[in-house]
Structure 1
Amino acid sequence: MVRIREMTEADADAVAEIRVRGWRTAYAGLLPGGHLDALDAAEDAARRRERLAAGDARVADLVAESAEGDVVGWVCFGPCRDADQQADTAELYALYLRPERIGTGVGRSLCAAAVEGTRKRGYARMSLWVVRDNARARRFYERAGFAPDGAEDVYDADGTPVPEVRYVLDPLRTP
């Protein structure tokens, strides 16, 4: 069992480590190794602390905390950044777990909390971007009720184009 709660500045190091390990696990073979190796958890933690200290209430960060009090997952969501989406669309910016927690239900709990948080903020739908060849993530989001909407983009990983597809949960419902 995990407890989902708002992220605090004290969680920044754990969240940064989860994000970096998450990227290195999820994108191994999908993004250039040098790009993944260059990820710096300390820099990531500093950026998170800065953003949290700025108090931007439009963006929400939630963490999953184990019974032992360890942060084991993180989700971040807020207003959709895509110009072609309606104003009532939120975006799931990131969802990462400690790799050893994949398949334990922590991701489902974080996703459900993000959807509920989005609903409480008055949004009607939620979108996200996922690397096209990340089959595990695509299955996860499809099980949560998201579906590709046909939009595609390219993430530039140090000069290497990485195709992404957009998924949408419309209307919002609990995964």
Structure 2
Amino acid sequence: MDEQLPRIRPMTLADCDRVSAIRVRGWQHAYRGLLPQPYLDRLDVAADAERRRERFARGSGPVVNLVAERDGRVLGWAAVGPYRDGETYTVDAELYAIYVDPAHLGGGIGRALLAAAAGRCPADARLLLWVFKGNAPARRFYERAGFRADGAQEPFEADGVPVPEVRYVRAPAG
């Protein structure tokens, strides 16, 4: 287990390849058994990185992308911004993504990223996120951080297999 606290900083264009590798490997690790294996096997780091660079070049609008690094190596990524309710944003905040290199899970990187992402949200805003219903480790992580499922669910489908998501919420910090 890593002991040194990670350095959290804004993501740069140069981080896109590494962030995509973390995201894809994170999906392949965390969602094994939840999503069909052929779906996970088709995830492509290079294609994800290309899409990420294109979005980065256009600007991320109200979304804040953060990376966690140790010894100059990016080991995690989080994205946070206004909560999306359909096509509109609300006054609440949403954790869109948080992924840690699977080789560095349990070393405090996820907790540090979550704290930094939450710190970028308005003090009076609730922080919401969506997590696969069957992802027990992630749900425990969020529950230890003060989040609770609020009963809302959303469908997600991978290769024709339904994989429901549940919404978690944490009350405003202030």
Matched, 1:55 2:96: no
1:69 corresponds, among 52, 68, 72, to 72
Partner of 2:110: 107
Partner of 1:165: 166
8 Å CA contact 2:10, 2:65 repeated in 1: yes
How many residues get paired? 170
Matched, 1:3 2:4: no
Aligned equivalents of 1:38, 1:123: Cα separation in 2: 40
Aligned equivalents of 1:125, 1:88: Cα separation in 2: 8
8 Å CA contact 1:90, 1:123 repeated in 2: no
Consecutive unaligned residues of structure 2, counting only runs of 5 or more, are none
Aligned identity (percent) is 56
TM-score by structure 2 length?
Answer: 0.92
What are the equivalent positions in structure 2 for 1:1-175 lying under 5 Å apart? 1-66=5-70, 68-83=71-86, 87-119=90-122, 124-172=125-173
| Backbone CA RMSD of aligned residues | 1.7
Aligned equivalents of 2:83, 2:27: Cα separation in 1: 22
Aligned equivalents of 1:47, 1:80: Cα separation in 2: 22
Aligned equivalents of 1:78, 1:158: Cα separation in 2: 29
Q: Secondary structure at the match of 1:96?
A: strand
Offset at residue 47 of structure 1 (A) = 1.2
What is the letter of the counterpart of residue 96 of structure 1?
Answer: Y
Consecutive unaligned residues of structure 1, counting only runs of 5 or more, are none
Aligned equivalents of 1:41, 1:95: Cα separation in 2: 16
User: Which structure 1 residue ranges, 4+ long, deviate > 4 Å from structure 2?
Assistant: none
Offset at residue 106 of structure 1 (A) = 0.5
Offset at residue 82 of structure 1 (A) = 2.4
TM-score by structure 1 length?
Answer: 0.92
Aligned equivalents of 2:32, 2:40: Cα separation in 1: 8
